[in-house]
Amino acid sequence: MLRTTLIHPGVLAALAGAGHGSLVLVCDANYPATTRRGPHADLVHLNLRPGLVNAVEILECLLGVVPVEESSVMAPLVQGPYALDGEPPIWAEFRTALSAAGAPSDLLPLRRHEFYETASCPDVALTIVSGEARIYGNLLLRVGVVQPPT
């Protein structure tokens, strides 16, 4: 039996194969995961229904297994039907989870097409589709280095 709270075999296998600098994408329910994923990325669907399982819950599980050195988000559009005046509210929840795990909590905003391009690159080891219904609930994590025990 595993001691970690994350017990999904496919997610664990993909994380075990990822190394320093690999990317892990947690995407919301609107993200085009089939057509916008890295050529080496395992694809795991955890989207049972809208809101279940959400992106923050997935992030918290991942943070218990791998160190994260950098996090990128999709910057909101400034015009059109999906435009926002400020930050998406979910970003504060991402920061809280990252900070609680001792990971850097700064979020690097990438423009939509830059985010898609990065999330489709060969460095992506894992794409997890969440049931996250809040817009701009996409998070791209860069795996850090496991430090030796002191």
What is the pLDDT, as a whole number, of residue 150?
A: 82
Q: Which residues does residue 107 pair with via DSSP β-bridges, in sequence order?
A: 71
For 127, phi and psi rounded to 5 degrees?
-120, 125
Q: Check pLDDT > 80 for residue 116.
A: yes
Q: Please determine, looking at this structure, whether the domain spanning 12-143 carries the CATH number 3.40.1650.10.
A: yes
25 forms beta bridges with: 127, 140
First to last CA, the chain: 26
> Greater confidence, 92 or 5?
92
- Render pLDDT for 67-78 as a digit per residue (tens, 0 to 9): 999 999 999 999
Better-scored residue on pLDDT, 45 or 146: 45
Q: What is the pLDDT of residues 81-115, one digit of tens each?
A: 999 989 999 999 999 999 999 999 999 999 999 99
Looking at residue 56, its amino acid is V
